[in-house]
Amino acid sequence: MHQNSSEYKKLLKKAERLAYSGLFLMGISIGLLFLKIYDPTLSIFEGKQEIAEVIDEDLIENGIHVRTGFVDDVGLMTVVNNCTNCHSSKLVIQNRMNEDRWNATIKWMQETQNLWPLGDNQKIIVDYLVKNYPPVEKGRRASLTNINWYELKK
Amino acid sequence: MERRKFIKKTTLTSLAALIGTEIVFGSNMLKNYKPLALQETDPFKLFSLDSEMVVLNDKPWNIEAKAHLLDDKITPSSKMFIRNNGLIPTEIDEQNWTLTIDGESVKNKTTFTLNDLKTKFKEYTYQLTLECGGNGRSEFDPPAKGNQWTVGAVSCATWTGVRLKDVLEAVGIKNDAVYIGYHAADTHLSGDPSKEPISRGAPMSKALEDETLIAYKMNGKKIPVAHGFPLRLVAGGWPASVSGKWINRISIRNIEHDGTKMTGTAYRVPKFPVAPGEKVKDEDMKIIESMPVKSLITYPKSGAIIKKGDSLAIRGHAWAGDLEVAKMEYSIDFGATWHQASIEKPVNRLAWQHFSAKINFPKVGYYEVWARATDSNNIAQPMLLPGWNPKGYLNNACHRIAIKVK
């Protein structure tokens, strides 16, 4: 009888533990479910960096000015302050020109786009652009690059 | 480009921090009003775009498709390139929108409401190919200035509206008319209200074509804001900049229209061939009219791996400005041999045409499928870049995709 009752107690303990762990898992699942409903992209886990992006206007990461995408080099802020008021930095970064053509582009922007006189800043800006965004020779037709290979399903 | 999430802030102070300036009269701001500076942040939500669209520029908005996104026969707005010279109008009042026809060569200057246009004139629907004059610019060497479009600045949607011809004839065209020029409600990038971001047009011959529309519907619905709501001039086959968005005035001119981006080097190419990188005088440049013959392989997406022995079905679209595509070919040996692809007739003049072919590969290895269209004047696409020009327009070199046979 004694022995039986201790066996019985052990079983009861085991059942109790099982019930608690079940309850615990259920709690976690419900939590995850709510998280998924209210934050489907689960952005809560990646939010910090984005907040930093918005708040710190001068943040440089891996040599790149995070707010504009410009390369960090001498003249960066002169470029940011003079070249991103009307259009975005993306228009500058896409383009590859030599000194002559950047100067011609600045002249065109002054004649037609209300760009102000740049004074001594013009040389700083053009030097920065020519150094960091130089033209790349592509020839008459470049090879296909960055091909993402995939199995074509029939 | 990665979709960028943005953080919605609710208090005025953090709004000011985000915009970078104090919001004057902020306390008078309506409770649920979101300042414009915050509205234009995620283009994928703003314009309901396919997640694979590529943002080239976010001020002004310039967004292009990839070849495989253009597989639909009629381009949906989610996969349609967006090209802006200025800022999209922020306040559009459809009820009170008007279109004025004026200019030196108009007989009776007239202002129409949207309802006038819809009720006084017959409605037409055409599928029209619109390609940016600078589509393919990214391939020019030395590089040309501007948005570096690859292949995706082309679309062929269905446009519904009234014929420009009917409207112009109703108000009367003087004998000395040579050109029409549009004016629109978008804002110059500098914010200067005295400047127009773009005001282009077309000679009378193009303006009076049946397919040149003053459109108020795209793909059967109201035109999306990014594409010109509530009214867009649509002139298929010519650089898409002729198809002015948000138009409120069309001038019948007795001279070649001299609006913004009509003069200088904008939407112009040299009158004669020039060496790559050569400086060209403004007076040696001519306005681009009909776009050149071109095609795009829209299926499969580049990079497909197939099994040896399997054939590959390809398809895509071809167009030829004012002309028709007469012949479509493909090559799997870099142009040494060409094979005929089947090409359909356009659903109407100035609509792109669909081609397809079944390809068998002789052995395993790396292949490129090149597509080449030939227009009704027997002019074909070049395999190499066409003539270099200072602004990088009219690259109609053959499109190609990479294929591996295992």
User: pLDDT-based confidence at B29, cuts 50/70/90?
Assistant: very low
* pLDDT at position B2: 38
Lowest-confidence pick of A14-28, B227-241, B303-317 = A14-28
Question: Taking residues B168-183, what's their average pLDDT?
Answer: 98
Question: Taking residues B371-394, what's their average pLDDT?
Answer: 97
Q: Considering Cα of A125, then A128, then A131, then A137, what sign does the dihedral take?
A: negative
Mean pLDDT of chain A: 82
Mean pLDDT of chain B: 92
Q: Determine which of A86, A95, A111, A133 to mutate to test the interface with B (most B C-beta atoms within 10 Å).
A: A86
Please report whether residue A62 resides in a domain: no
A149 at interface of B, judged by CB pairs closer than 8 A: yes
Instruction: Give the closest of B189, B260, B305 to A151, CB-based.
Output: B305
Question: Taking residues B87-110, what's their average pLDDT?
Answer: 96
Q: What are phi and psi of A50, to 5 degrees?
A: -65, -35
Residue A77 and residue A35 share a domain: no
Give the CA distances from residue B153 to residues A86, B83, B210, B312, in Å, rounded to whole numbers and listed in that order.
Answer: 23, 8, 24, 26
Q: Where are the alpha helices (DSSP H) in B96-194?
A: 114-120, 164-171
Say if residue B62's pLDDT is above 80.
yes
Residue A79 and residue A119 share a domain: yes
Q: Determine which of A46, A67, A112 to mutate to test the interface with B (most B C-beta atoms within 10 Å).
A: A112
Nearest-by-CA chain A residue for B397 = A141
Range B98-287: architecture per CATH: Alpha-Beta Complex (3.90)
Q: Is the peptide bond before B300 cis (omega within 30 degrees of 0)?
A: yes
Please report whether residue A110 resides in a domain: yes
Residue-range domain boundaries for chain B: 1-41, 98-287, 294-405
Say if residue B79's pLDDT is above 90.
yes
In sequence order, which residues have a C-beta less than 8 Å from that of residue A15 and are 6 or more positions away? none
A21 at interface of B, judged by CB pairs closer than 8 A: no
Residue B141 to residue A139, Cβ atoms within 8 A: yes
> Token pair 């090209």 is at which residue?
B83
A97 at interface of B, judged by CB pairs closer than 8 A: yes
A153 at interface of B, judged by CB pairs closer than 8 A: no
B304 to chain A, minimum CA–CA distance in Å? Answer: 5
**Pair B274, B388: CB distance under 8 Å:** yes
In percent, how much of chain B has pLDDT > 70?
90
Q: Could you give the ipTM of this predicted complex?
A: 0.85
Residue B385 to residue A140, Cβ atoms within 8 A: yes
Please report whether residue A34 resides in a domain: yes
Contacts of B17 in chain A (CB under 8 A): 55
A105 at interface of B, judged by CB pairs closer than 8 A: yes
Lowest-confidence pick of A97-111, B209-223, B354-368 = A97-111
Say if residue B317's pLDDT is above 90.
yes
Say if residue B11's pLDDT is above 50.
no
Say if residue A13's pLDDT is above 80.
no
Please report whether residue A58 resides in a domain: no
Q: How many CA atoms lie within 13 A of B289 on its CB side?
A: 12
Q: Whole-prediction pTM value?
A: 0.83
* pLDDT at position B13: 37
A1 at interface of B, judged by CB pairs closer than 8 A: no
Residue B188 to residue A114, Cβ atoms within 8 A: yes
Range of the domain at A125: 69-132
Longest distance between any two alpha carbons in chain B, whole Å: 73
Range B294-405: architecture per CATH: Sandwich (2.60)
Q: What is the CATH number of the domain that holds A93?
A: 1.10.760.10
Say if residue B20's pLDDT is above 50.
no
Residue A74 and residue A29 share a domain: no
User: pLDDT-based confidence at A26, cuts 50/70/90?
Assistant: confident
Say if residue B18's pLDDT is above 90.
no
First to last CA, chain A: 71
Please report whether residue A64 resides in a domain: no
The whole-angstrom separation of Cα B3 and Cα A147 is: 21
Residue A87 to residue B60, Cβ atoms within 8 A: yes
A98 to chain B, minimum CA–CA distance in Å? Answer: 10
Question: Taking residues A81-102, what's their average pLDDT?
Answer: 93
Say if residue A97's pLDDT is above 70.
yes
* pLDDT at position B371: 98
In percent, how much of chain B has pLDDT > 90?
89
As for how many domains chain A has, the answer is: 2
Say if residue A123's pLDDT is above 70.
yes
Please report whether residue A90 resides in a domain: yes
Instruction: Give the closest of A97, A98, A152 to B305, CB-based.
Output: A152
Please report whether residue A28 resides in a domain: yes
Say if residue B142's pLDDT is above 90.
yes
